[in-house]
Structure 1
Amino acid sequence: MKMLQDKVAIITGGNSGIGKETARLFASEGAKVVITGRRQNVVDAAVDEIGNGATGFCGDAADIADHQRLAARVRDQFGAIDIYMANAGVINLLPSSMVTEEEYDRHFATNTRGVFFGVQTLAPLIREGGNIIVTSSLAATKILPQHTVYAGSKAALAAFARNWALEFKDRKIRVNILSPGPVETEILGKLGIGEAERPAFEQQMSELIPAGRLGRPEELARAALFLAATGTFVNGIELHVDGGMSLT
C-alpha cells in the first residue's frame, strides 16, 4: 500500500518549488492533495503537472479570509484532512537599511501571520493522529547576508510549532518544522539571479555547504514525506535539510 493512501493533504504555496514537488510526491503516494497559490493560471498548471487527482485553490496565504474560504471548501469536499503543510512564503533580500515598512509587512504578513492563522483555521479539520508541517528556513538559525527581515519572519515559526505540538497533543497531532538550506528552485530567479549569474552563485553557495551543492526540491519533498508518513514518533523538531550548511 502507498504510504499516504487516501490521506488528505493541503499544501500552501504548492504551485512551485518545494511545495509543488512535495505535492507531486504526496499524490504519487496516494494522498488527495489540495495545493494553494495566488495566481489561478499558475495553480492550474501545477495541478496538471502534479496529476493523480490533485486539486487547486487560488488564495493568498496572507489573507485570513482566504484561509477561511479554503477551510470551507475542504470541509465540503473531504470533511476532514490529515496533513497541513504551511509552506507558502515570500523572500526579498535586502540590507536592513533598505527595508521599507511595506517590505517588512509583506514578509511578516505571509511568512508569520499567514502561517499562524492558517494553522488556527485549518487545525479543527485535522483528524486525530494527523500532522502539521511548517516550512521555515536555515536563515532562521544561521546568519546569512541580507536575510534579516526574512530570517525574523521565519524564526517565529519554531516557537509556534513547539507550542502547537503540546496544544494538539490530546488529538495526537504531530507538528514539525522543515528547514531547507539553499535549494534549486524558481526562487533564485525571483531574487534577481539571472541565468548568467547563476553558475557563480551556485558555486559560491556550494562552497558553504558540506555536501558541495545546492539541494533539490525532491530531496525536501522526501523529508516532508518522512515527517508526514513514517516519522510517527517525531514531534516538535526542526529538521534541517541543508546539506550540512548549518554546521559551517
Structure 2
Amino acid sequence: MSRLDGKTAVVTGGATGIGFASAKRFIEEGAFVFLFGRTQSALDKAVAKLGPNARAVAGSINETADLDRLFAAVRKERGKVDILLANAAISEPTPLGQIASDQFDRVFGANVKGLLLTVQGALPLMGEGGSIILTGSSASVKAFPNFSLYAATKAAVRSFARSWTPELADRGIRVNVLSPGGTRTEKALELMGDEGVAALAKATPVGRIADPDEIGAVAAFLASSDSSFIAGSEVFADGGIAQV
C-alpha cells in the first residue's frame, strides 16, 4: 500500500498503544513519522521497531517550548506536516464527589489544552491536503461509571473538530475525530484489569475489544485522500458499543 507516499506525519502519544499502531500503519503506507511523547526510553524502543522512517522527540504537549522543538525538528528534516494525529491523552477514572481540583486541571490540561497547543503548533507547517485527526472516545457519547471527567474532555475534542473545520477549509485542511471503543493497549489493560476487559468485551456488540492495529487502520484512512470528502466528522471504531 502506498496511500501516504511522501507524506510527513506527526503522532503525539506515539510510543505505545493506538499512537504506535497508527504510526506503524502510516509508515507501511509510505509516510515518514515523527513520534512525540514524554518518555525517551519508550520513544527509543518505538523508533527501533518502526525503522528508518521514524524519528522521535521527547516532551510534553502542555509545554509550548517542547512543541516548538518538535515542529522545529520536523521543519528542519521534512519541511512540512501533512498528517497530525493528536492522540496523547490521560485518563484518571474517579467517581463524582471525589474529583479533585488539581485532577481536573491535569486531565483537561492534557486532553484539551495540550491538544489545542499541538494543533496550533502544527498549523504553520500544514497546507492543502493536510489531515488533522483528533483522538476522541466512545466515552464522549456513552456513559461509563467513573469516567465523567475523561468523557467531558473528549466531548470538548469533538467540539474542536466542528469549530476548526470551517476555520481551516480555505487552507484545504480537514479535521476529523477518531473515536475508539475499548482497545487492547497497555494503559487500558492496566486500568481495567482482566475483569474489566471481559465486561467491556461482553458489552461490545462485536463481542471483543479492539486490537490497536484496527484503530491504526482507521487513522490511516482518515490521513489519506480516500477520506477526502470527510471533514468535521467523528468516526467511531468502537465495535458498536456507542452505536446500538
Name the TM-score, length of structure 1 as normaliser. Answer: 0.94
Amino acid at match of 2:113: R
Q: Secondary structure at the match of 1:246?
A: coil
Listed as ranges, the matches of 1:68-147 within 5 Å are 68-147=68-147
Secondary structure, aligned partner of 1:154: helix
Asked if structure 1 preserves the Cα contact closer than 8 Å seen for 2:139 and 2:147, the reply is yes
Mapped to 2, the partners of 1:188 and 1:80 lie a distance apart of 33
| Corresponding residue SS for 2:82 | strand
2:202 to 185, 196, 207: 207
SS of equivalent residue, structure 2 residue 228: coil
- The answer to whether structure 1 residue 224 and structure 2 residue 206 are counterparts is no
**1:63 pairs with 2:91:** no
Look up the match of 1:235.
231
**What amino acid does structure 1 have at the position aligned with 2:8?**
V
CA distance in 1, matches of 2:191, 2:198: 16
The one-letter code sitting in structure 2 at the alignment partner of 1:154 is K
Q: Which AA in structure 1 matches 2:164?
A: W
Aligned to 1:148: 148
Deviation at 1:32, TM superposition (A): 0.5
Q: C-alpha deviations, 1:80-126, integer Å up to 9, x for none? A: 11001100000111102221122111111110000111111111111
CA distance in structure 1 between the partners assigned to 2:189 and 2:143 by the alignment: 22
Q: 1:136 touches 1:179 (CA, 8 Å); kept in 2? A: yes
Distance 1:223 1:82 in 2: 17
Contact 1:64 1:114 in 2 (8 A): no
Tell which deviates more after alignment, 106-115 or 68-77. Answer: 68-77
Using the alignment, how far apart are the partners of 1:135 and 1:82 within structure 2?
17
Contact 2:25 2:216 in 1 (8 A): yes
Q: Is 1:7 the equivalent of 2:3?
A: no
1:246 and 2:239 matched: no
**Match of 2:21?**
21
| Structure 2 residue ranges without an equivalent (≥5) | none
Over 3 Å off, 4+ runs: none
Amino acid at match of 1:171: R
Per the TM alignment, residue 188 of structure 1 is displaced from its structure 2 partner at its CA by 2.3
Aligned residues: 243
What displacement does 1:192 show? 6.1
1:174-213 paired onto structure 2 within 5 Å: 174-191=174-191, 193=193, 198=194, 200-213=195-208
Cα distance in 1, alignment partners of residues 161 and 237 from structure 2: 17
Aligned pairs (5 A) from 1:39-54: 39-54=39-54
The letter for the 1-side match of 2:37 is: G
Note the alpha carbon deviations across 1:44-93, whole angstroms, 9 max, x for none: 00111122420101011122221122122211221111001100000111
Report the secondary structure of 1:44's partner residue: helix
Task: Provide the rounded CA distance (Å) in 2 between the counterparts of 1:67 and 1:203.
Answer: 38
Cα distance in 1 for partners of 2:69, 2:27 equals 23
1-structure distance, mates of 2:182, 2:189: 13
Q: Which amino acid aligns with 2:234?
A: E
Structure 1: unaligned runs, 5 residues or longer: none
| 2:242 partner SS | helix
Asked if structure 2 preserves the Cα contact closer than 8 Å seen for 1:83 and 1:228, the reply is: yes
Secondary structure of 1:107's counterpart equals helix
Q: TM-score, normalized by length of structure 2?
A: 0.96
* 1:127 aligned counterpart, secondary structure: coil
